[in-house]
Amino acid sequence: MEKLITRAQQGEKDAFGEIYLLFYKKVWRFIYFSFWDKEQTSDLTQNTFIKLWKSLPSFNVERGSLQAYIFTIARNLIIDESRKKKESLLDEALEIPSKENLEEDLDRKEAAERVQKALANLEPEEKQIIILRYFEDLAFADISKILKTKEGALRVRVHRILEKLKEELKNEF
Amino acid sequence: MNFEDIEQKLNNLKADYQATKLPRDLEEKGLWEVLGKLEERKVRFSRRPFWFASATLLMIIVFGLLAGWKKVEAALPGDSLYPVKRFSEEIVSKVSKDSQIKVENRAKEVVDLVEKGEENEKALKETAKEYEEEIKSAKEKLKSEKRQEFNKKLERHQEEFKKVIKKSSSSNKQVEEIIEANKKIREENEENKEREEEKKEEERENSKSSEKD
């Protein structure tokens, strides 16, 4: 990974393309469940990587993982975009593309709905913490860098979020 | 319901999360769209290794100037000023298109290293090898009028080498080898000089006879 990063920092688009392929799905899902707008999510995903390309020369592996750096960029874009618009309603966001397998897509739609319902009562930042910790398996150290908070405080916060989720998950599952 | 149960349920939700499908457009064309929007990156010369090496070299040069040029000239392999000496020698050699400064410096270094003693055996071996290479290379590039001067220089070196052998027996082998190489190069140089003189003589004769005709 370090060699890939160095090559991308030196301007090799091939190397950057590989980085894109490694992370674009994670970034998309992170933005989607934080922001809940499929169309905007794709734009924000692309913008995340365009911003990454511009700022990559100043990235230093010693200061944290590339994954955390990418999620930080994505999160900052989400925050900027959220200020510009109100949150979309649940029903509007999930559109099934007409050419795709309807049955298969219905399953995926329901799966996405389950996730969204579980996280519905959480604050945006709380959603992001759950996504990064439990769905993307990031270490507390990385998440604390993304959210610019101390690790100890983050662990306490996770505990509180799980309390909040207790009721929601008990009823649904 | 305890926290372990909650975490387990979140783990189950993780599969749903991972299964969320991305838009087809993004899957098929996303990469190319992003690559198409990337600005060409100019590689900055301030990347640390190059900058650091240049700064280090510059400091060595400045230090060399401050310390006095004589100290630089007297530097031997292993000394901190030696790279400055080699660098300046390279510049002089390229500007003057004459590598004889290298021949002189290597010869002097051989003598100084022998006089310094046994601990410099490795440096002596390398310097002796470099001396041989330099005299071969210098001989190839010589113009005919410079051959005699070069041979006189090599004779002088040989006298110095023979003196120093008497002083120190431990480095005899290396010094004897370069004495031998020195002798061989002088002989080849002498042969080249004779051949060139014969050729000139022939050309003179040919031009005279063609004038008569």
pLDDT tens per residue, range B164-193: 876 666 667 778 888 888 888 888 888 888
Q: So what's the pLDDT on residue B49? A: 55
Separation between Cα atoms, residue A1 and residue A137, nearest integer Å:
18
Q: What is the pLDDT of residues B114-135, one digit of tens each?
A: 887 766 778 888 888 889 888 8
Residue in B closest to A12 by C-alpha: B41
Chain Cα centroid distance, residue A102: 26
Give the count of beta carbons closer than 10 Å to the beta carbon of residue B191. Answer: 11
Is B21 near chain A, with CB under 8 Å? yes
From the candidates A46, A54, A131, A163, which should be mutated to test the interface with B, based on the most B CB atoms within 10 A?
A: A46
Whether residue A165 and residue B10 make contact (CB cut-off 8 A), yes or no, is yes
Best-predicted range by mean pLDDT among A73-77, A83-87, A165-169? A73-77
Nearest chain B Cα distance for residue A127, angstroms: 12
- Please enumerate in sequence order all residues whose Cβ is within 8 A of that of B164, keeping only pairs 6 or more positions apart, or say none: B110, B111, B114, B115, B175
Q: CB B38 to CB A50 under 8 A? A: yes
Reply yes or no on whether the pLDDT at A95 is more than 50.
Answer: no
Q: How far is CA A40 from the centre of its chain?
A: 13
The DSSP code sequence of A116-165 is HHHHTTS-HHHHHHHIIIIIS---HHHHHHHHT--HHHHHHHHHHHHHHH
Which of A16, A112, A162 lies at the smallest CB-CB distance from B6?
A: A162
Share in percent of chain A as helix, strand, coil (round to 5):
80, 0, 20
| Contact partners, residue B111, CB within 8 Å, separation at least 6 | B160, B161, B164
State the sign of the Cα–Cα–Cα–Cα dihedral A138, A141, A147, A149.
positive
SS3 of B54-89: HHHHHHHHHHHHHHCHHHHHCCCCCCCCHHHHHHHH
- The token pair that represents A41 in the structure block: 């999510």
Mutation target for A interface from B2, B24, B33, B34: give the one with most A CBs within 10 A.
B34
**pLDDT higher than 50, residue A156:** yes
Q: How far is B58 from chain A (nearest CA, A)?
A: 25
Of A17, A110, A10, A123, the closest CA to residue A56 belongs to: A10
What's the CA angle centered on A60, arms A55 and A62, to 5 degrees?
A: 155
Smallest Cβ–Cβ distance between B16 and the set A111, A165, A169 belongs to A111
CA distance B12 to chain A (A): 10
Taking the Cβ of residue B7 and every Cβ of chain A, the question of whether any pair is shorter than 8 Å is answered with yes
Name the more confident of B169 and A159: A159
By the CB < 8 Å criterion, does B28 face chain A? Answer: no
Is B23's Cβ below 8 Å from some Cβ in A? Answer: yes
State the maximum Cα–Cα separation within chain A, in Å, rounded to a whole number. 52
CB contact under 8 A, B18 and A20: no
Both structure tokens of B123: 């440096």
Under a CB-based contact definition with an 8 Å cutoff, are residues B158 and B183 in contact?
yes
B6–A166 CB contact, under 8 Å: yes
Residue B46 pLDDT > 60 = no
Which DSSP category does B40 fall into?
P
Q: How confident is the model at residue A139 (pLDDT cuts 50, 70, 90)?
A: very high
Residues on chain B touching A111 (C-beta within 8 angstroms): 15-17, 19-20
How close is the nearest chain A Cα to the Cα of B56, in Å?
A: 23
Return all residues near A148 (Cβ < 8 A) that are at least 6 apart. none
Q: Closest CB to B14: pick one of A20, A135, A165.
A: A135
Buried b (16+ CB within 10 A) or exposed e, B23-50: beebeeebbeebeeebeebeeeeeeeee
pTM confidence score: 0.52
**Which residues from chain A sit within 8 angstroms of residue B39, using beta carbons?**
53-54
Instruction: Provide the ipTM.
Output: 0.79
Give the separation between CA B185 and CA B196, rounded to whole angstroms.
Answer: 16
Q: How confident is the model at residue B83 (pLDDT cuts 50, 70, 90)?
A: confident
Nearest to B10 among A21, A134, A159 (CB): A134
Distance from C-alpha of A76 to C-alpha of A44, rounded to nearest angstrom: 10
Burial of A163-173, coded b for 16+ CB within 10 Å and e otherwise, reads: eebbebbeeee
Cβ-contact B16, A111 below 8 angstroms: yes
Which helix (H) or strand (E) element contains residue B16? helix B3-19
Q: How far apart are CA B188 and CA B209, in angstroms?
A: 31
Top mean-pLDDT range of A145-159, B43-57, B69-83, B96-110: A145-159
Q: Does B45 touch chain A (CB under 8 A)?
A: no
Q: Is A54's CB within 8 Å of B3's CB? A: no
Q: CB neighbours of B155 closer than 8 A, spacing ≥ 6?
A: B186
